[in-house]
Structure formats: C-alpha cells, structure tokens
Amino acid sequence: MSVYAAPLRDMRFVIDDVVGLGRVTALPGLDGTDSALVEQILAEAGKLAGGVLAPLNPVGDKQGSRLENGVVRTPDGFADAYRQFIEGGWNGAPFEEEWGGMGLPWLVATALQEMWQGANLAFGLCPLLTQAAIDALREVGTDEQKATYLPKLVTGEWTGTMNLTEPQAGTDLGAIRTRAEKVDDGSYRLRGQKIFITYGDHDFTDNIIHLVLARSPDGIAGTKGLSLYIVPKFLVNPDGSLGARNDAKPLSLEHKLGIHASPTCIMAYGENEGAVAYLVGEENRGIEYMFIMMNNARLAVGLQGLAVAERAYQQAADFARTRVQSRAVQGSTGSVSIIHHPDVRRMLLTMKAQIEAMRGLIYDVAAGIDIADRHPDAATRAGAQARVDLLIPVVKAWCTDTAIEICSTNVQVHGGMGFIEETGAAQHYRDARITPIYEGANGVQALDLIGRKVARDGGAAMQGFLADVDATLGALADADAPLAIIRDRLASGREALARATDWVVATMPTDPAAAASPSAVFLKLFGLVAGGWLMARSALAAREALASGANGDARYLETKLVTVRHYADHLLAQAPGLLAAIEAGGGTVMALDEDQF
C-alpha cells in the first residue's frame, strides 16, 4: 500500500498562477488570506492528511463500519482521527468566524478538501455532508436554527446528513413517502424510511443533525409537496445541552463495493411516537432548499474524483519506478523498471494530464463561488453564479468518469499485482466507483446540463464560457511550439463545442429525446474542452514564470508544459470527433423496442 503525499506544489501553482489567488483575496472579507498564509495552511493540512488519515485508508477498507445493538462503530482509529480533524479547526475552513469557522475562501477550502478525500475517501465523506448541511442552514435557516445548530456543525462537534432517497424514490424524488405531521408547538413529527444515508449514524460525535426531505402535512403529489426538516439525533435543550434521544435510528448498514469505512445507513424515522422535526424555511419548498445542499455536494463529489485519481496516480508512479520488468525498447541490455517502457509512460502521463486539467477546472469553479458570494457588483455576482451553475454538472460527471479511468489505469500499471487486494490499487478503483452514481447519477448531470444549463437560456451561459475560451486563445495567438499546439487543439475543441451547443439549443424544444440521447457525449466534450481551457491557462502561467524567472523552479515549469502538450495531443484531440455522435442524436438510441434488448 503506497503512502499519500498531498500535491502541495501543484495546488499552489493552480491557486496562485492559474486561477489567481489575488482576484479572490481582493473580495470583501478575504483580504487577510495572502499567499504565504495559504502555503502554511496547506502544509499543515498535508501533515494531517498524509500522517493521520491516509494510513487509516486500508484499515477502513478491511474492517468497515458495523452496526452493534443499534449503534454504528467505525473502524479502528477513525474516531480519534476525527477528533484531531476538528481540533485543528479544519471542518469550518470556508465558513464565517462568527460561527467558529476560519473564514477562508472556497478556493483554499477546496484544496483542503482534496487532501481529506485523497487521503481517505471514506473518512472525507463525513465532513463533506456536514458542509452541505451548513450551507443549507446558512441560507434558509431561521436565526434560532442558526444559533442552535451552526456553531456545533461548523466546528464539527456535530455532523450533518442529507436524507433524500427512499426504496421507491431514487432519482424520482416526487415519489417520496416520508411524511410530516404538524403539532401544536409548531414542530412536526416525521414518519418514514430513508436509504443510502451516508454517516447516518457513527461514533465520531455526540449528536447528528439530519436534514430530511419529507412530504408536507398537506403536500400535493410530486416534488411540489415536499419540505425540508431538521431532525436531530438528540433533541437540543434551550440552553444548548442535549436532551432526549429522538425517534430516529439506523436499521442496518449497506454492504458496498467500496468506501467500506463510511457507514451507509437505512434510517427509520418515527417508528414509535414520531421523530421530532423542525421545518426549514417554508413548506413545499424542500426541493429548492435541498438543491443548496446538492450543488455543494456535487462539486465536492467531483473533487472526490480528482482526489482519488491523484492517490491512484501517486501509487502508479511509485510502482512504475520500482517494478523491474523486461528490457527497454532501446538503449538497454538489462531489465529496467517499467517506467522506462513507452506504454507505461503514456499511461502515467495521461493520468497526470487528466488530473491537472480536473484540478484547474474544480479550483476555477471554487473561485467562482467566492466571486458569486462576495463581489460588490451584483452583475458580476450573477455572472459568476451562472458560470458555476453551468460547470457544476461537468465537474461532477466528467471528473468522476475520468477518475474511474485513472483508477483503472492504476490497476493496469500494476499488471497482475493490481488485481491483488494487498497492493491497494483495487481499493482506489472500488472506492471511486460510487462517485459517478451518488449525488445525482452522471446521466442525470448530463440531462441537467443540456436541459437546464444550455437549452433553457438559449445557450447564453455557454456563450459566456466560449468567450472566455476565445480570450485565452487570443493570449496564445503569438505562441510558438509547444503552446501553439494547445492553441490549435483548443480552437478545434472550442468549435466543436460551439456547434454541439447550437445543435442542442435547436433540437431540445422540438425533439427532447433526440437531444437527450447524446447528452453524456455532450458533457464529455464540454469536459475535455473545459479541461483544455484550464491547461492552456496553465501553459500561459508556466511560460510567463519561465520568462520572468520569478518562480525559481524551471524544471517544474517545463514539466507543466510537457503535460499540457500531452493533454492537447492525447485528450483534447478527441473533442472534434465527438461532434458527429452528438449531431446523430437519438437515431439509434431510441430505435429499438424494449424486447429487442
């Protein structure tokens, strides 16, 4: 099992030189976050990730969580690791100091999250869901609810969950049956069952705050009759102390392909007197509020894809340097380590290029969240939010699909040893496999992209994105090789994406099935081009740093340029070829009857 070292140098390059920390720290309330402070914070987080969380990753995979007498027990060392996590204040990184947070930009907090997820994906799921719950309460909770729950959630003394899915209601949330009944004191009583509830119970903290989607007392059928409710594991007294145990409990844990340490619970609400619940916001607006959590979680799941891919790449590179097998194609008379073989080099460099493109894209979206939250100009905030909304399904789906490829390639680099559990390569592949599924399956992300994010506004948000790509192409206009190659590949990909967008906008109103059929291909095309755009910006930043000598690490920067060239030649080059599949629409996809499958 390989060790994990947080990729601090790559993180700082993206934050400082590609995305631009300065444009974020210029925002109101973030002026105290300079580059030196960020470097210190990342270094300290890297110690916790590499020294505490990463060694527990194989332990959690082997032991798993277990349910004993109605209580979930996590694997050895996990509860202590969580204690160290909250003692360091890491849970509250992006949240306001008034609630006990650090007040850091989302850009920086995203880099921290990458470390937690890369070191130990199953562990990182717990703060991921807590963060989503915090976001919802910050936006739509009452002052009393904020005062009661946010201080403990932000510090991590309590954790949060998101309860949507039921046995008969997966993606179709309109089929939810869990129901709320209002009582005289203004609270509610919830009755129903939820499945796939991540960290629905555990031994990390003394309370868990469940956010549960349930049908309103007079809720109509479908999603418009749903509301969002707070259901604490233990009721909270007026003085903040814990009261009676609520009527909410885990019935069982799912036995999963991966992320074994993360307890995935079937939760029962109201089997006895009814689970005490408190309405969040207004009745019948639960779906709207839940999407605050979902968008946060979808970005975080895309980040999980990046993180586990980085972990797999590190393992593959380490193995390739040390595994001696066969003679080199040229220049050697004896056996060499497999990193000398061209196809292994191709695999490693492709993994590296994909990871750098994903990191650039995710961090750029995180900076967009900071701008949408804090910029003093309303139009700028709205534009940033539109860009974030456009790219979140791409981050979630393209990054997690790519992560599966990378983790599979890691197994391939290991050869037969990759298929043996002891190496740990299989765990990364198994753990990563859930990421294209939860928080909205990737097919749903593709439909959301073409329907809500592209066709609905006539492609306006996409045109804004393409205009920014054009600006980058303009900056590359005078480039010599190798930057000229990324320019030409990006220009071809940009043209393909523009044509595909026009096709979607024209087709969706009259033939939605035809437009929906290649939606996953459209998303892949968008991901390749968006990743290429960030790689082009990376190349520009590397070229500028090399020319000025300010960076002081020429070898590192030259490596960046080679990686960008590889992305252009081996990945971005695929983009134009996807256009034909998109414009073919649903000609074959919808052609067969059910009995022909």
CATH number at residue 30: 1.10.540.10
Q: Which helix (H) or strand (E) holds 158?
A: none
Check whether residue 71 and residue 107 sit in a common domain: yes
Apex 262 CA angle, 292 and 357, nearest 5: 60
Check whether residue 180 and residue 114 sit in a common domain: no
Give 339's strand partners. none
Check whether residue 129 and residue 169 sit in a common domain: no
Q: Are 328 and 336 in contact (CB under 8 A)?
A: yes
Number of domains into which the chain is organized = 3
pTM (two decimals): 0.97
Whole-number pLDDT of residue 410: 98
Query: For residue 378, which phi and psi values (nearest 5 degrees)?
Result: -65, -40
Last residue of a domain, one of 285, 301, 331: 285
Last residue of a domain, one of 221, 254, 285: 285
Check whether residue 248 and residue 137 sit in a common domain: no
From the list 406, 135, 413, the residue with the least C-alpha distance to 293 is: 135
Check whether residue 126 and residue 218 sit in a common domain: no
Whole-number pLDDT of residue 1: 60
Check whether residue 477 and residue 554 sit in a common domain: yes
Rounded Cα–Cα distance for residues 547 and 556 (Å):
14
Burial (CB < 10 A; 0-12, 13-18, 19+), residue 470, is: middle
Q: Which two tokens stand for residue 52?
A: 């505490």
Check whether residue 122 and residue 249 sit in a common domain: no
Whole-number pLDDT of residue 327: 84
Check whether residue 122 and residue 176 sit in a common domain: no
DSSP, res 304: H
Alpha helical stretches, state H, 70-169: 78-87, 106-119, 121-140, 143-155
Residue 338 DSSP SS3? helix
Residue 67 lies in a domain: yes
Distance of CA 341 to the CA centre of its chain: 33
Residue 277 lies in a domain: yes
The torsion defined by the Cα of 530, 494, 471 and 356, in degrees rounded to 10, comes to: 30
Rounded Cα–Cα distance for residues 14 and 366 (Å):
12
Place of tokens 């909250």: 86
Q: Are 194 and 116 in contact (CB under 8 A)?
A: no
- Residue 439 annotated in active site: yes
**What's the distance, Cα to Cα, between the start and end of the chain in Å?**
42
Rounded Cα–Cα distance for residues 363 and 371 (Å):
13
pLDDT by residue, tens only, the chain of 597 residues: 678 999 999 999 999 999 999 999 999 999 889 999 999 999 999 999 999 999 999 999 999 999 999 999 999 999 999 999 999 999 999 999 999 999 999 999 999 999 999 999 999 999 999 999 999 999 999 999 999 999 999 999 999 999 999 999 988 899 999 999 999 999 999 999 999 999 999 999 999 999 999 999 999 999 999 999 999 999 999 999 999 999 999 999 999 999 999 999 999 999 999 999 999 999 999 999 999 998 889 999 999 999 999 999 999 999 999 998 888 888 777 899 999 999 999 999 999 999 999 999 999 999 999 999 999 999 999 999 999 999 999 999 999 999 999 999 999 999 999 999 999 999 999 999 999 999 999 999 999 999 999 999 999 999 999 999 999 999 999 988 889 999 999 999 999 999 999 999 999 999 999 999 999 999 999 999 999 999 999 999 999 999 988 666 899 999 999 999 999 999 999 999 999 999 998 789 988 999 999
Burial (CB < 10 A; 0-12, 13-18, 19+), residue 557, is: buried
Residue 388 lies in a domain: no
Whole-number pLDDT of residue 208: 98
Rounded Cα–Cα distance for residues 438 and 449 (Å):
17
Residue 99 lies in a domain: yes
Residue 440 lies in a domain: no
Task: Report the CATH number that the domain containing residue 170 is assigned in CATH.
Answer: 2.40.110.20
Check whether residue 585 and residue 464 sit in a common domain: yes
HSE, side-chain direction, 13 A CA sphere, residue 554: 4
Residue 495 lies in a domain: yes
From the list 346, 360, 359, 358, the residue with the least C-alpha distance to 409 is: 346
Check whether residue 58 and residue 18 sit in a common domain: yes
Check whether residue 136 and residue 163 sit in a common domain: no
**What is the torsional sign of CA 208, 221, 448, 452?**
negative
The torsion defined by the Cα of 343, 348, 350 and 353, in degrees rounded to 10, comes to: -150
Q: Which of 310, 439, 544, 583 is catalytic?
A: 439
Which residues, including other chains, have CB under 8 Å from residue 374's CB and lie 6 or more apart? 27, 28, 29, 30
Residue 25 lies in a domain: yes
Which residues, including other chains, have CB under 8 Å from residue 47's CB and lie 6 or more apart? none
DSSP, res 18: I
Residue 336 DSSP SS3? strand
Last residue of a domain, one of 285, 310, 327: 285
Rounded Cα–Cα distance for residues 390 and 452 (Å):
9
Residue 116 lies in a domain: yes
Q: What domain range includes position 74?
A: 8-141+150-155
Rounded Cα–Cα distance for residues 275 and 354 (Å):
46
From the list 36, 104, 98, 67, the residue with the least C-alpha distance to 373 is: 104
Burial (CB < 10 A; 0-12, 13-18, 19+), residue 101, is: buried
Check whether residue 454 and residue 584 sit in a common domain: yes
Helices 121-140, 106-119: crossing angle, 10 deg rounding: 150
